[in-house]
Amino acid sequence: MFNITDRTILEMSTSFRVYERGRRYYLGKRISSLEFNKELYVFNATVIGTQEYNIEIDFYQNGDYCDSTCDCHAYNKFWGGCKHIVAVMFEIGERDRKREYDRQNPKEIVGNILNYFWSKETSEKKILSLEVTYEFDTYGYKDVEFASSLSLRLGEEKLYVVKNIKKILIAIKEGEELVFGKNFTYSPQIYDFNEEDKKIIDLLIDCYEKEEYISSEGNYSKTLNSLFDGKKMILTTNTIKRFLDIAREIDFNAIILGTKYENVQIIDSDLEVDFLLTQEGEELVLEVNFDDTMTSLVKDGAYFFAAGKIRRVSKQQIDAFFPFYNAVIHQENHSIEIPKEMSESFISETYPHIEKIGKIIIDEKVSALMYKPEIKPEIYLDKEDERVTAKIKFIYDDVHIDPFNDSSNIKREESKILLRNVEREREIISIFEDAEFKVINAKVYLDDDELIFDFVNEKIVKLQTIADVYYTKKFKSMEIKDSSSFSGGIRLNTGSDMLEFDFNIEGIEKTELTDVFKSIKEKKKYYKLKNGAYLPLNIPEIQDVSKLVDSLDLDKKDFEKDLVEIYKYRAMYLDEQLKESSLKFIKRNLSFKELVQNVKEPGDIDFQIPSELEDTMREYQKFGFKWLKTLSKYGLGGILADDMGLGKTLQVLTFLLSEKREKGQAPSIVIAPTSLVYNWEAEIKKFTPDLTVLIIAGSKETRMNSIKNVDGFDVIITSYPLVRRDVDLYNGTVFRYCIIDEAQNIKNHGSINSKAVKRISAKNYFALTGTPIENSLTELWSIFDFIMPGYLLSHAKFKKQFEKPIIKENDNVALRDLQKHISPFLLRRIKKDVLKELPEKIENKIVANLTNQQKIVYMAYLKQIKEKIEEEIKEKGFDKSYFGILTGLTRLRQICCHPSLFIDNYEGESGKMLLLEELITESLAGGHRILLFSQFTSMLSIIKTMLNKNKIDYMYLDGSTAMKDRGEMVNEFNNGECKIFLISLKAGGTGLNLTGADTVIHFDPWWNPAVEDQATDRTHRIGQKKSVHVMNLITKGTIEEKIHKLQQKKKDMINAVIKPGETLVSKMSKEEVMDLFDV
- Residue 406 CB coordination number (10 Å): 9
Residues 377-395 as b/e (b if ≥16 CB within 10 A, e otherwise) read bebebbbeeeebbbbbbbb
Q: What CA–CA distance (Å, rounded) separates 949 from 544? A: 71
CA-based end-to-end distance of the chain? 50
Q: Within 13 Å of residue 517, how many CA atoms lie on the same side as its CB?
A: 21
Same domain (yes/no): 686, 782? yes
- Let me know: does 625 contact 654? Beta carbons within 8 Å: yes
Q: How many CB atoms lie within 10 A of CB 806?
A: 24
- Tens of pLDDT, residue by residue over 512-544, are 888 888 888 888 888 888 878 888 988 888 888
Residue 132: φ, ψ to 5°: -110, 130
Which has more confidence, 1058 or 71?
71
Handedness of CA 450, 452, 453, 458 (dihedral sign): positive
> Which CATH number covers residue 1001?
3.40.50.300
Q: Which amino acid is at 890?
A: T
- pLDDT at residue number 496: 87
The predicted structure's pLDDT at residue 221: 47
Which of 205, 229, 263 is the last residue before a domain boundary?
263
Residues 847 and 786 in one domain: no
Predicted pLDDT at 107: 56
Instruction: Flag whether 116 is in a domain.
Output: no
Looking at the fold, whether 42 and 163 belong to one and the same domain comes out as no
| 1032 part of a folded domain | yes
State the alpha helices, DSSP H only, in 370-459. Answer: 422-434, 449-454
Q: Which stretch of 214-218, 500-504, 1036-1040 has the lowest confidence by average pLDDT?
A: 214-218
Q: How many CA atoms lie within 13 A of 763 on its CB side?
A: 12
Answer whether residue 502 is part of any domain: yes
Neighbouring C-alpha atoms within 13 Å toward the C-beta of 183: 7
- Say whether both 891 and 854 belong to one domain: yes
Burial letters for 644-667: b for 16+ Cβ neighbours within 10 Å, e otherwise? bbbbbbbbbbbbbbbbbeeeeeeb
- pLDDT tens by residue, 764-822: 999 999 888 877 899 999 999 999 999 999 999 999 999 999 888 888 888 989 998 99
Partners of 81 in beta bridges: 13
Question: What is the pLDDT averaged over residues 627-640?
Answer: 94
CB 442 within 8 A of CB 496: no
Full DSSP string of 531-553: TS-EEETT-HHHHHHHHHHHHTT
Domain membership of residue 115 (yes or no) is no
Where b means 16+ CB within 10 Å and e means fewer, 567-578 reads: bbbbbbbbbbbb
133-142, 184-193, 310-319, 1065-1074: least confidently modelled range: 1065-1074
Residue 356, pLDDT score: 82
The least confident of 118-132, 363-377, 383-397, 906-920 is: 118-132
Helices 590-600 and 619-633 meet at what angle, rounded to 10? 150
Considering only 361-365, 469-473, 600-604, 1049-1053, which range has the smallest mean pLDDT?
1049-1053
| Rounded Cα–Cα distance for residues 833 and 943 (Å) | 37
Assigned domain for 88 exists: yes
Q: What is the mean pLDDT of residues 377-405?
A: 90
Q: Which residues of 134-173 are buried (b: 16+ CB within 10 A; e: fewer)?
A: bbbbeeebeeeebbbbbbbbbbeeebbebeebbebbebbe
Surface-to-core class of residue 825, CB atoms within 10 Å of its CB (0-12 exposed, 13-18 middle, 19+ buried) = buried
Q: How many CA within 13 A on the CB side of residue 874? A: 6
Q: What percent of the chain has pLDDT over 90?
A: 37
Is the CA virtual torsion 704, 707, 713, 714 positive or negative? Answer: positive
Q: Is the domain of 996 the same as that of 904?
A: yes
Give the pLDDT mean for 485-496.
88
pLDDT for 334-344, tens place per residue?
888 888 888 87
Confidence of residue 367 (pLDDT cuts 50, 70, 90): confident
- Angle, CA of 922, 924 and 926, to the nearest 5°: 70
Among candidate residues 475, 496, 528, the one where a domain is terminated: 475
From CA 419, how far away is CA 440, in angstroms rounded? 28
942 lies in the same domain as 1064? yes
pLDDT tens readout for residues 681-705: 989 999 999 999 999 999 999 999 9
The residue from 442, 475, 508 where one domain ends is 475
**Position 1060 confidence tier, pLDDT thresholds 50, 70, 90:** very low
E strands in 224-269: 228-229, 232-235, 253-256, 259-261, 265-268
Is it the case that residue 122 has pLDDT exceeding 50? no
Q: Are 936 and 955 in a shared domain?
A: yes
Query: What pLDDT, on the 0 to 100 scale, is given for residue 299?
Result: 84
Q: Note the pLDDT of residue 303.
A: 92
DSSP-based three-state secondary structure for 422: helix
Greatest mean pLDDT among 75-84, 256-265, 277-286, 759-768? 759-768
Residue 148 has pLDDT above 80, yes or no: yes
Exposed/middle/buried for residue 965 (C-beta within 10 Å: 0-12, 13-18, 19+): exposed
Residue 226 sits at φ, ψ, to 5 deg, of: -70, 155
Q: What is the mean pLDDT of residues 239-246?
A: 90
Q: Count of domains in the chain? A: 7
147 has a pLDDT exceeding 60: yes
Q: Determine, yes or no, domain membership for 103.
A: no
- Taking only Cα atoms into account, the Rg of the chain, rounded to an integer number of angstroms, comes to 46
268-306 burial code (b ≥16 CB/10 A, e <16): ebbbebebbbbbeeeebbbebbbeeebbbbbeebbbbbb
- Tell me phi and psi for residue 727, to 5 degrees: -55, -35
Parent domain of 412:
372-475
Same domain, yes or no: 130 and 184: yes
Is the pLDDT reported for residue 1064 higher than 60? no
Q: Report the candidate in 325, 207, 319, 307 with the shortest Cα–Cα distance to residue 265.
A: 307
Residues 276 and 217 in one domain: no
pLDDT at 637 exceeding the cut of 90: yes
Which CATH number characterizes residue 722's domain? Answer: 3.40.50.10810
pLDDT at 230 over 60: yes
142, amino acid identity: K
Question: Is the alpha carbon torsion for 594, 600, 606, 610 positive or negative?
Answer: positive
Among candidate residues 708, 704, 682, the one with its CA nearest the CA of residue 693: 682
Alpha-carbon distances of 114 from 107, 126, 189, 955, rounded to whole Å? 11, 21, 17, 87
Residues 582, 622 share a domain? no
Same domain for 366 and 463, yes or no, is no
The strand pairing partners of 628, in sequence order, are none
CA-CA-CA-CA torsion sign (377, 378, 383, 389): negative
Q: How confident is the model at residue 1067 (pLDDT cuts 50, 70, 90)?
A: very low
> Contact 378/399 with Cβ under 8 angstroms?
no
Co-location of 848 and 953 in the same domain: yes
Is the model's pTM score more than 0.75?
no
Examine residue 495 and state whether it is found in any structural domain, yes or no: yes
- HSE at residue 953, side-chain half, CA atoms within 13 A, is 6
Q: How high does pLDDT run on average in the chain?
A: 86
Residue 1054 has a pLDDT of: 63
The confidence score (pLDDT) of residue 1066 equals 33
Contact partners, residue 883, CB within 8 Å, separation at least 6: none
Q: Is 604 within a domain?
A: no
Q: For 154-172, what is each residue's pLDDT tens digit? A: 998 899 999 999 999 999 8
Residue 298, Cα to own-chain centre: how many angstroms? 47
Query: Bridge-partner residues for 468, per DSSP?
Result: 378
pLDDT digits (tens, 9 = 90+) for 544-556: 888 888 877 787 7
Distance CA 762, CA 746 (A): 17
